[in-house]
């Protein structure tokens, strides 16, 4: 398609749903499916990843897809290019983040499909190598501006936590629950290894199912009981106990920061974002396994997790499109706070320093300062 015509012409593509995937296997889950064909239009967008230069849309433009490239820098760069391209009218578009993730066996299991209320940038902290930490530190991660682990950060960048529309999540979960999820014998066998540990037995040993729990973003792909627990604690700390860490991925806070800024610019609606992550691997070993073996061992749930992106996700996409006139065009009103820790979109965050009774940190001089514009 001619980009110049698209940007200057009157008629922009106005998707009802924009699917956001991060790498090819997640993207391909949506190709050659009976429900719709997003390869009917390929639109090259300046600023997209060289690996994935095109946005893909159905002929009528109602359903589109982007593959961002992996980790925070690719996610933020691609999403920014998308929202500021001028090719699309995204003011009423629902964004479905649809990717695979690591999973916390205390909360859910491989093959599960999760929907998040909170996305937490857990690695946005100071770090000391575990071999050099003081004896009384349970982890080498210390929140920025704090002096010990698990102390509320004194410096906020604003991307630490994003909260999404709970009413929309409830609708998405209801759609996803119509899916028959895919599972394999190898995945079932891998789940069983976790059942011996009482901390994991319930949530990790049966499945796959649809679960409401929250997502952690970190460029660092980590493995192990201690880092898993450290980031559980970070999620609890940053969300004032509201968030439950279950999935770990490398993009979502970046994607959400772009959509928050685009909402401030009047280009997107932050109440129309669904964060769906399916579980491909455990974030920590089972009892008796090492962290290294967990990291480098087999991942039998990779294929089911990719399949379940489509199986659950297509129900969400079709639910929104078929319920457009009745419900989704006008939007699903959020009854919870949505946005970031600064209250950028208005309202009072139910997490962050304001809700702990301490005040929002002052701007500080020096190398590390809080980047907030009042
Ligand atoms: C869009 O690109 C895909 C490959 O990425 C190709 O299979 C498809 O035919 C293309 N669609 C059009 C309309 O050219
Ligand atoms: C990332 O976003 C999630 C929710 O979308 C939020 O809960 C989390 O706090 C964010 N993390 C950071 C570090 O901003
Ligand atoms: C997580 O928090 C718990 C409870 O405060 C604490 O006992 C534990 O040492 C912490 N773990 C890590 C790895 O930070």
Q: How far is the CA of 42 from the centre of ligand 2 (A)?
A: 32
pLDDT of the residue at 354: 64
Q: Cα–Cα distance between 9 and 14 in angstroms, integer?
A: 13
Q: How far is the CA of 42 from the centre of ligand 1 (A)?
A: 6
Q: Cα–Cα distance between 52 and 87 in angstroms, integer?
A: 17
Ligand 3 pocket at CB < 6 A: 138-139, 149, 226, 229-230, 233
Structural domains in the chain (count): 1
Angle, alpha carbons 72-52-218 (nearest 5°): 15
Hey, whose CA ends up nearest to atom 8 of ligand 3? 138
Q: How far is the CA of 232 from the centre of ligand 3 (A)?
A: 9
- Packing angle, helices 302-322 and 166-176, rounded to 10: 110
Answering whether pTM is above 0.85, one says yes
Neighbours of 116 (CB within 10 A): 31
**C-alpha closest to that of 159 among 233, 100, 232, 73:** 73
Regarding the beta carbon of 276 and ligand 2, being less than 6 Å apart is answered no
Characterize the bridge pairing of strands 245-249 and 94-103. Answer: antiparallel
Q: Cα–Cα distance between 349 and 65 in angstroms, integer?
A: 31
Q: Which of 1, 28, 32, 42 to mutate to test the pocket of ligand 1 (most atoms within 8 A of CB)?
A: 42
Regarding the beta carbon of 53 and ligand 1, being less than 6 Å apart is answered no
Q: How far is the CA of 289 from the centre of ligand 3 (A)?
A: 21
Q: Which domain holds residue 212?
A: 3-370
Q: How far is the CA of 138 from the centre of ligand 3 (A)?
A: 6
Regarding the beta carbon of 95 and ligand 2, being less than 6 Å apart is answered no
Which atom in ligand 1 lies closest to the alpha carbon of residue 42?
A: 1
Q: How far is the CA of 310 from the centre of ligand 1 (A)?
A: 19
pLDDT of the residue at 216: 87
From the CA of 158, which ligand is nearest? 2
What does each of the 374 residues of the chain score in pLDDT, given as a tens digit?
545 444 555 589 999 999 999 999 999 999 999 999 999 999 999 999 999 999 999 999 999 999 999 988 899 999 999 999 999 999 999 999 999 999 999 999 999 999 999 988 888 889 999 899 999 999 999 999 999 999 999 888 888 889 999 999 999 999 999 999 999 999 999 999 998 888 898 777 788 999 999 988 888 888 999 999 999 999 999 999 999 999 998 877 788 889 999 999 999 999 999 999 999 999 999 999 999 999 999 999 999 999 999 999 999 999 999 999 999 999 999 999 999 988 999 998 998 886 654 444 433 322 222 332 22
Characterize the bridge pairing of strands 118-121 and 113-115. Answer: unpaired
Q: How far is the CA of 245 from the centre of ligand 3 (A)?
A: 14
Hey, whose CA ends up nearest to atom 4 of ligand 3? 233
Reading phi first (left if > 0) and then psi (alpha if -120 to 50, else beta), residue 69 is in left
Hey, whose CA ends up nearest to atom 3 of ligand 3? 233
Q: Cα–Cα distance between 141 and 117 in angstroms, integer?
A: 24
Q: Cα–Cα distance between 6 and 145 in angstroms, integer?
A: 46
Which atom in ligand 3 lies closest to the alpha carbon of residue 233?
A: 1
pLDDT of the residue at 203: 79
Q: How far is the CA of 229 from the centre of ligand 3 (A)?
A: 7
Hey, whose CA ends up nearest to atom 9 of ligand 1? 39
Rg (CA), the chain: 20
Hey, whose CA ends up nearest to atom 5 of ligand 3? 233
Hey, whose CA ends up nearest to atom 14 of ligand 2? 160
Q: How far is the CA of 139 from the centre of ligand 3 (A)?
A: 8
* CATH assignment of the domain containing 239: 3.40.50.1580
From the CA of 28, which ligand is nearest? 1
């Amino acid at each position: 398609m001619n980009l110049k015509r698209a940007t200057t012409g009157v008629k922009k593509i106005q998707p009802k749903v924009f699917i956001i995937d991060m790498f090819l296997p997640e993207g391909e889950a949506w190709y050659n499916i009976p429900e719709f064909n997003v390869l009917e239009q390929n639109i090259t967008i300046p600023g997209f990843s060289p690996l994935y230069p095109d946005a893909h849309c159905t002929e009528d433009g109602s359903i589109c897809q982007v593959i961002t490239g992996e980790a925070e820098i690719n996610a933020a760069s691609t999403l920014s290019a998308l929202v500021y391209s001028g090719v699309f009218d995204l003011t009423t578009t629902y964004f479905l983040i649809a990717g695979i993730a690591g999973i916390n066996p205390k909360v859910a299991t491989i093959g599960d499909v999760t929907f998040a209320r909170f996305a937490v940038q857990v690695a946005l902290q100071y770090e000391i190598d575990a071999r050099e930490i003081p004896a009384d530190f349970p982890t080498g991660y210390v929140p920025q501006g704090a002096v010990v682990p698990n102390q509320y950060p004194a410096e906020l960048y604003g991307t630490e936590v994003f909260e999404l529309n709970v009413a929309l999540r409830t609708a998405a979960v209801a759609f996803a629950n119509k899916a028959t999820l895919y599972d394999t014998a190898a995945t079932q066998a891998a789940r069983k290894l976790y059942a011996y540990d009482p901390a994991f037995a319930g949530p990790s040993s049966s499945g796959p199912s649809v679960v409401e729990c929250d997502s952690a973003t970190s460029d660092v792909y980590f493995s192990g009981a201690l880092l898993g627990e450290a980031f559980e604690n970070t999620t609890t700390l940053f969300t004032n106990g509201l968030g439950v860490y279950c999935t770990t991925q490398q993009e979502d806070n970046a994607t959400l920061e772009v959509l928050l800024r685009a909402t401030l610019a009047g280009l997107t609606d932050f109440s129309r974002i669904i964060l769906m992550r399916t579980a491909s691997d455990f974030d920590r070993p089972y009892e008796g396994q090492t962290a290294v073996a967990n990291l480098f061992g087999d991942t039998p749930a990779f294929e089911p997790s990719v399949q379940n992106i489509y199986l659950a996700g297509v129900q969400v996409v079709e639910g929104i499109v078929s319920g457009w006139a009745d419900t989704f065009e006008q939007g699903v009103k959020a009854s919870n706070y949505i946005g970031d820790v600064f209250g950028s979109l208005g309202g009072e965050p139910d997490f962050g320093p304001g809700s702990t009774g301490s005040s929002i940190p002052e701007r500080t001089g020096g190398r590390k300062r809080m980047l907030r514009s009042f």
